[in-house]
């Protein structure tokens, strides 16, 4: 029974149990950037760092700093000094990755009380990454008023970003980031807004992208990409006139109708549907997979023994990485978490043997 299942997952029983080293090099030919997101560091997500929220009602960073008041700055400084350190960057570089994606909040420079600014941490990361040969994708991950109403926008609730004044405030932050880091040797890209809500009018969003592109492009080095998230409408987004603009896609199968898929269906979707999508996008504009993971609804593993579950994660990883050869790079979400959710932790996935030890 288990042997039949493994054969179904991989196409052949012998291949199903093959360790990572055999296909490792083949899986990454042509991929320019291989990296991880430094999620949960400068923007809090309760599920990623539950220890910070212990004893609190807060569900997002706004709630966290509001509930703690003056104590929040002290706790956040301690978190920022310890969650991502030089040792973490050493580990990332030693395991053959060549880039990190850094989610940055719109309050990075201050001026959005009660949020606590974090520009010193960004400066440290840029310099520390450069010393290790790592490139950095700076990602404006939140926006005034919230661009999607999710916890990773800083505040759960209504989407209130789409006003002229809040779009202008967002542009001001982008201007400062481009001015401060546009010529930094570690910078490989600046993403102008993470995951705007899929219901935001496409015309408004493309207009904002165009103005943001003009603001950023003239202030960054020639080899730095200005990156626009696809707003989960990758085939409808038009960036044609903006030479030097790239698109970011976030590809997950852990939400919505995808949670009803079987493991073979998850693997097929990654290896075929996503591959075709990336091929189509990449013909028009450079494309990055800015977020992906091995996180799946555990329903697809029901009835499997431990060995089959382990191999299933390996096969799902291989299918994704094969598809991502069609992109200019990828960034796993995330480098690590406190939670016992290894499919969302690159480091834990490597330690479990689901992902390669190195791509060097």
Q: Is the pLDDT of residue 76 over 80?
A: yes
Query: For residue 242, what pLDDT band results from cuts at 50, 70 and 90?
Result: confident
* C-alpha separations of 274 from 93, 184, 254, 321, 325 in Å: 27, 33, 15, 10, 11
| pLDDT (mean) for 160-186 | 98
| pLDDT (mean) for 164-182 | 99
Give pLDDT, residue 360: 65
Give pLDDT, residue 16: 37
Q: What torsion do the CA atoms of 84, 85, 90, 95 make, to the nearest 10 degrees?
A: -20
Q: Which CATH number fits domain 33-351: 3.20.20.80, 1.10.357.10, 3.40.50.300, 3.40.50.2300?
A: 3.20.20.80
Kindly report the average pLDDT of the chain as a whole number. Answer: 91
For the beta carbon of residue 277, count every other beta carbon within 10 angstroms: 18
SS3 content of the chain, % helix, strand, coil (to 5): 45, 10, 45
Distance CA 226, CA 189 (A): 6
Distance CA 291, CA 334 (A): 8
Give pLDDT, residue 234: 87
Give pLDDT, residue 4: 35
Q: What residues have CB less than 8 Å from 212, skipping those under 6 apart?
A: 170, 171, 174, 192, 193, 226, 228
């Amino acid at each position: 029974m288990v042997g039949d299942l493994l054969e179904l997952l991989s196409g052949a029983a012998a291949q199903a149990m093959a360790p990572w080293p055999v296909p490792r090099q083949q899986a990454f030919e042509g991929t320019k950037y291989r990296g991880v997101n430094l999620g949960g560091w400068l923007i809090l997500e309760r599920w990623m760092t539950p220890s910070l929220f212990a004893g609190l009602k807060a569900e997002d960073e706004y709630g966290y700093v509001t509930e703690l008041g003056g104590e929040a700055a002290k706790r956040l400084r301690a978190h920022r000094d310890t969650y991502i350190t030089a040792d973490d960057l050493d580990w990332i570089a030693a395991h053959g990755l060549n880039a990190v994606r850094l989610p940055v909040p719109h309050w990075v420079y201050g001026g959005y009380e009660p949020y606590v600014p974090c520009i010193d941490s960004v400066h440290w990361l840029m310099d520390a990454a450069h010393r290790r040969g790592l490139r950095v994708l700076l990602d404006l991950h939140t926006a005034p008023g919230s661009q999607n109403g999710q916890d990773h926008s800083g505040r759960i609730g209504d989407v209130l970003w789409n006003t002229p004044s809040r779009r202008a405030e967002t542009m001001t932050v982008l201007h400062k980031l481009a001015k401060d880091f546009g010529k930094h040797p570690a910078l490989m890209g600046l993403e102008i807004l993470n995951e705007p809500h899929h219901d935001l009018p496409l015309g408004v969003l493309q207009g904002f992208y165009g103005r943001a592109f003009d603001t950023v492009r003239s202030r960054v080095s020639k080899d730095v990409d200005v990156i626009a998230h696809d707003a989960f409408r990758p085939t409808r987004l038009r960036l044609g006139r903006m030479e030097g603009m790239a698109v970011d896609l976030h590809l997950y199968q852990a939400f919505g109708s995808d949670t009803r898929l079987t493991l073979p269906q998850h693997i097929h979707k990654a290896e075929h549907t996503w591959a075709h999508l990336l091929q189509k996008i990449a013909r028009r504009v450079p494309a990055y997979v800015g977020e992906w993971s091995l996180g799946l609804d555990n329903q697809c593993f029901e009835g499997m023994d431990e060995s089959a579950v382990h191999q299933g994660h390996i096969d799902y990883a291989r299918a994704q990485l094969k598809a991502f050869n069609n992109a200019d790079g990828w960034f796993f979400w995330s480098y690590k978490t406190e939670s016992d959710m290894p499919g969302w932790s690159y480091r834990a996935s490597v330690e479990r043997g689901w992902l390669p030890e190195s791509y060097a």
